[in-house]
């Protein structure tokens, strides 16, 4: 059980310079990006409802939109509050909430992106049985699996934080609470926390990235066999946006 000292701990969240004018400028930029993110994801949600051709990918696109809206609201709005407030502190429970959301959303998105790669593979490489393979029940199963995957990862990484005690500096020089910046502030033995974090990240990587590589290696092979230029162009356009998202997601995650 966490001690009162741990639960009452507060951290100073100070990712930027203390200049008030710069803070106001950052608040404007963050709010603008947040509004664009919110608008874009809500439009995606509405378009998938209106277009019957998006009926199967809807289960993946809508969930990605939900994850983006949830995470942006939790982190961006808190950061705006920190920048505008005189008190730059965030409570231990607030930190725990942010990290729980982060380690729920990241693996869930990775699982969804892996499912979308398989969806594209089925559509391009096995078009005749696509509707049978990617049935409504199977899509719902994959969507629910992403949530379960995220919840397990979140609990494994956040619950061990309750045993930590924090001493010395409580300064977090980052935009939000994350394990790599929070753990160095603890005076407790961190072997268990680091090992769990490392193992969960490895499992997420090896669980989601190889299926994406397999799917797109088969997709590229199938596209190259298409004789018509229009057919190849259509197939590439179907997958290009997803490939860009996958690259951005995994490259920044590794970074």
pLDDT for 164 beyond 80: yes
> What is the CATH number for 58?
1.20.1070.10
Q: What is the pLDDT of residues 183-197, one digit of tens each?
A: 888 888 889 889 999
- Residue with the larger pLDDT of the pair 114 and 14: 114
Angle among Cα 164, 172, 184 to the nearest 5 degrees reads: 40
Which domain covers residue 127, as residue numbers? 4-254
Other C-beta atoms closer than 10 Å to the C-beta of 221 total 10
What percent of the chain clears pLDDT 90, i.e. is strictly above it?
A: 8
CB 103 within 8 A of CB 158: yes
In this prediction, residue 153 carries a pLDDT of 92
Identify the CA nearest to 114 among candidates 12, 207, 30: 207
Lowest mean pLDDT segment, chosen from 45-49, 74-78, 103-107, 168-172:
45-49
In this prediction, residue 3 carries a pLDDT of 54
| Domains: count for the chain | 1
- Most distant pair of Cα atoms in the chain: their distance: 69
Other C-beta atoms closer than 10 Å to the C-beta of 88 total 17
């Amino acid at each position: 059980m966490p001690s009162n000292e741990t639960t009452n701990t507060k951290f100073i969240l100070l990712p930027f310079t203390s200049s008030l004018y710069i803070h106001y400028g950052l608040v404007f930029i963050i709010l603008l990006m947040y509004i664009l993110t919110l608008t874009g994801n809500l439009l995606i949600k509405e378009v998938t409802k209106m277009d019957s051709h998006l009926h199967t990918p809807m289960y993946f696109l809508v969930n990605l939109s939900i994850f983006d809206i949830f995470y942006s609201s939790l982190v961006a709005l808190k950061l705006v509050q920190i920048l505008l407030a005189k008190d730059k502190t965030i409570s231990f429970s607030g930190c725990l909430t942010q990290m729980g959301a982060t380690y729920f959303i990241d693996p869930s998105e990775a699982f969804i992106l892996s499912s979308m790669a398989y969806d594209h593979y089925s559509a391009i490489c096995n078009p005749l049985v696509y509707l049978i393979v990617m049935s409504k029940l199977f899509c719902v199963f994959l969507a629910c699996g992403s949530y379960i995957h995220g919840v397990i990862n979140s609990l494994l990484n956040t619950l061990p934080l309750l045993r930590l005690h924090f001493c010395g500096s409580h300064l977090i020089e980052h935009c939000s609470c994350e394990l790599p910046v929070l753990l160095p502030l603890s005076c407790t033995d961190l072997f268990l926390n680091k090992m769990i974090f490392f193992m969960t990240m490895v499992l997420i990587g090896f669980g989601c990235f190889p299926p994406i590589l397999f799917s797109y290696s088969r997709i590229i092979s199938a596209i190259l066999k298409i004789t018509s230029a229009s057919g190849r162009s259509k197939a590439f356009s179907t997958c290009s946006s997803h490939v860009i998202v996958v690259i951005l997601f995994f490259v920044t995650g590794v970074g």
